[in-house]
Amino acid sequence: MINLFKVKAKQRAENPNGTAPIKKQSAGELRVHKDIGELNLPQSCGISFPNGKDDLMNFEVVIRPDEGYYIGGTFVFSFQVPPVYPHEPPKVKCKTKVYHPNIDLEGNVCLNILREDWKPVFNVNTVIYGLFHLFTQPNYEDPLNHDAAAVLRDNPKMFESNVRRAMVGGYVGHNFFPRCM
């Protein structure tokens, strides 16, 4: 049987100044801390922590493509890392409304390494490079935005025109896209 008074006395002895004990980090937090410390981002990408550096499990990544259809745009992604990371991928949402075959109008991202192809050896850097790649090589074969995918597949010049119209702030079809340049 556990004697609670002895447990409390032991805790006070281990922490004699009476301050709150230091919270132990979960395995996921430790891994994210390591991943962020080892980031090797392209110059066109950045990371920020809107909740402060104490909350490494929620952060934002900004991607500014320097080539392809989306050159000159600024796209913000929110990352929510689950406690069981790296056994499950981070939840990633695009906060910038974008005309893109692999990103729907609600910000959901279609990237295979965030779904069925996730492996625990992948890290935050891998995901950011995957997102960056979506802007340099959009994929019409695995779309979330089927209309954008069909235009990219059937008429790349019109797709390029639609991307430009959306990025400067305008309508593509019935959808308005705020300026992201």
Active site residue 94: no
pLDDT in tens, the chain (181 residues): 445 455 455 555 555 565 555 667 788 899 999 999 999 998 999 999 999 988 999 999 999 999 999 999 999 999 999 999 999 999 999 999 999 999 999 999 999 999 999 999 999 999 999 999 999 999 999 899 999 999 999 999 999 999 999 999 999 999 999 999 9
| Best CATH choice for the domain 24-172 from the list 3.10.110.10, 1.10.10.10, 3.40.50.410, 3.30.360.10 | 3.10.110.10
Say which of 45, 94, 110, 180 is annotated catalytic.
Answer: 110
**pTM of this prediction?**
0.85
- List the Cα angle 118/77/128 in 5-degree steps: 45
For the chain, the domains span 24-172
